[in-house]
Structure 1
Amino acid sequence: MPGVGRVDARQVAEFLFLLLAGAVAGALNAAGGGGTFVALPALVATGLSPVTANAAATVALVPGALVSAWVYRREVLPIGTTSTKALLTASVLGGGAGAALLLTLPSESFDAAVPWLLAFATIVLAFGRPLSAKLSALRQRRATAGSGSVPSAAIIGTRTILIGQFILAIYGGYFGGAVGILMLAFWSIGLGLDTATSNPMRIVQLGAVYLTATLLFLVASDVLAEPLPLAAMLVGALAGGYGGAHLVRRLPPGVLRTVVLTTAVVMTVLYFLRG
């Protein structure tokens, strides 16, 4: 039966393609963010609608994010005076709210927004970290010049941190592209935190956002209607998340940043051309 053979070959090819894409996405998320740029287009390319693909990407990336968080568990430091428990609560609530928005808003709205969301996330990837570092340094110099002493790095309080984290988590539950970079930039500008020091906490918060959104997607979306693509992406992301968390410690930061940014730019351009 030649027809069956062709179908099986196509399914095997798609499985291997999504397995590789999941591994790359999981590794990128562990290394510094950007997994959505690979996972979402890969799932759309296999025939899933953008909304279902976005939900499936979130579900698939959860295990990788949790594994990465486990690898970094001994390096997680508090964000300013905000407790880890309070920050996790904001991420959980915001992630659920963002996922609910994805499921309740018309799918056409998300389809039209995807290229622009990718473009926004790409700009954040390109300029978020250096801009936050420059703003923090400028703030420090001005404060020191005005007081004659070294100022406190924090310029926002716990309540503002939690509100900002909740808003970022909504974005993460709805789309998620570069949300980790946004977290790092927010903490850097508001609290003067070094991005390398706060990266383990970023991974923990990403895991919380994705996990909450996943629970809602599994119950209220049709993500389980396509088990094969989901399984392939999930297994790949699990391996990539574990390997990426170890790899990021060995590769120069500039190399990782170039890989993530190049991926983001290519995928954004392709989405605009596709639309």
Structure 2
Amino acid sequence: MDPLSLLVLLIMGTLAGAINAAVGSGSLLTLPVLLALGIPPGTAVRTNTIGILFSTIGSVTGYRREIAAEGRALVPLIVTTAVLAATGSVLLLLSPSDALDVVVPVLIVLALLLVVLQKPITRAIAARRAGRVSAEHFGSPYRSPALLAAMGGASVYGGYFTAAQGILYLGVLGAITGRPMGEVNHVKNLASLVVNAAAATVYLVAHVVLGVEIVWIATAAIAVGALLGGYFGAHLAKKLPEGVLRGIIVLVAIVALVRQVL
């Protein structure tokens, strides 16, 4: 891989780390670039997942006090997301490469729609929550069976694809707990870390045991940028209007998709 491509991945990884800490969907900056560089979809997803893991490490470190305050209430959520994310990553490994050539671009388009329509989707989920049993009945909103089921489903998607999983988590957490985005963002970041770590573990084992391909130099470029962006860039990302962040994500993903098709 040439130096210019690595530089682009480093820059996109940094932006992705900052955006993941703030709103999620940073993988839509890095994954399409990997695809545009000619990396096969399955390999690109695995390469991206391991690299972007470091953005969640950085962002979780930045929210460590808020996460510690929740204590053991988050344990069921952590276990659920880890197990179902591993299931999703196994599904990716079992998917035929020909199918991934079609599935991954379709999932990128779906993720883009989630980015663009996040607010209407979140409002719709919140409206359906009215009249249901409050999650506080279970002692903590994060122990609610409804929340665990919804986050589990989102984690299968996260383990399979990773892109825009943070937006799904924010929507689920905000709608079911009834808390504003700023008050559940630390849980979203923790869930993203757990899901990415579970998927990365599956891919690493598959790489060692089965020889599954991972482009390590690209992973390293994304990882360095993602770690810096996740830790230092979150504050800047939170100051930028959400419209600007979404615009950057949509533009980069569309350009990379067009390059892949052509």
TM-score (norm 2): 0.84
Instruction: Please identify runs of 4+ aligned residues in structure 1 that moved more than 6 A.
Output: 153-157
8 A contact 2:19–2:237 mirrored in 1? no
Cα distance 1:137–1:225, how it changes in 2: closer, same or farther (>3 A)? Answer: closer
Name the amino acid aligned to 2:261: R
> Does 2:132 match 1:133?
no
Identity value in percent: 33
8 A contact 1:22–1:236 mirrored in 2? yes
> Which string of whole-angstrom CA distances, capped at 9 and with x for unpartnered residues, describes residues 92-111 of structure 1?
11111111000012122222
How far apart in 2 are the matches of 1:86 and 1:12? 43
> Does 2:234 match 1:245?
yes
Report deviation, 1:225. Answer: 5.0
Q: Which residue of 2 aligns with 1:211?
A: 197
8 A contact 1:78–1:84 mirrored in 2? no
> Which string of whole-angstrom CA distances, capped at 9 and with x for unpartnered residues, describes residues 23-63 of structure 1?
12222212211222121121223332110010010000111
Q: Which residue of 2 aligns with 1:6?
A: none
Structure 2 residues without counterparts, runs of 5 or longer: none
Name the amino acid aligned to 2:148: L
> Does 2:100 match 1:110?
yes
Match of residue 190, structure 1, among 165, 171, 176: 176
8 A contact 1:34–1:264 mirrored in 2? no
> Does 2:74 match 1:87?
no
Q: Which residue of 1 aligns with 2:146?
A: 160
Cα distance 1:20–1:240, how it changes in 2: closer, same or farther (>3 A)? Answer: same
Report deviation, 1:123. Answer: 1.6
> Does 2:112 match 1:122?
yes
> Which string of whole-angstrom CA distances, capped at 9 and with x for unpartnered residues, describes residues 44-83 of structure 1?
233321100100100001111111011012234889xx92
- Secondary structure at 2:117 match in 1: helix
How far apart in 1 are the matches of 2:24 and 2:253? 10
> Does 2:25 match 1:22?
no
Q: Which residue of 2 aligns with 1:67?
A: 58
> Does 2:187 match 1:201?
yes
Cα distance 1:225–1:96, how it changes in 2: closer, same or farther (>3 A)? Answer: closer
Name the amino acid aligned to 1:16: L
The equivalences for 1:230-241 within 5 A come to: 230-241=219-230
Cα distance 1:134–1:165, how it changes in 2: closer, same or farther (>3 A)? Answer: closer
Higher radius of gyration, 1 or 2: 1
- Secondary structure at 2:2 match in 1: helix
Cα distance 1:234–1:129, how it changes in 2: closer, same or farther (>3 A)? Answer: same
Name the amino acid aligned to 1:243: F
8 A contact 1:99–1:213 mirrored in 2? yes
8 A contact 1:37–1:267 mirrored in 2? no
Aligned length, in residue pairs: 253
- Let me know the Cα RMSD of the aligned residues: 2.8
How far apart in 2 are the matches of 1:108 and 1:154? 46
TM-score (norm 1): 0.80
> Does 2:162 match 1:176?
yes
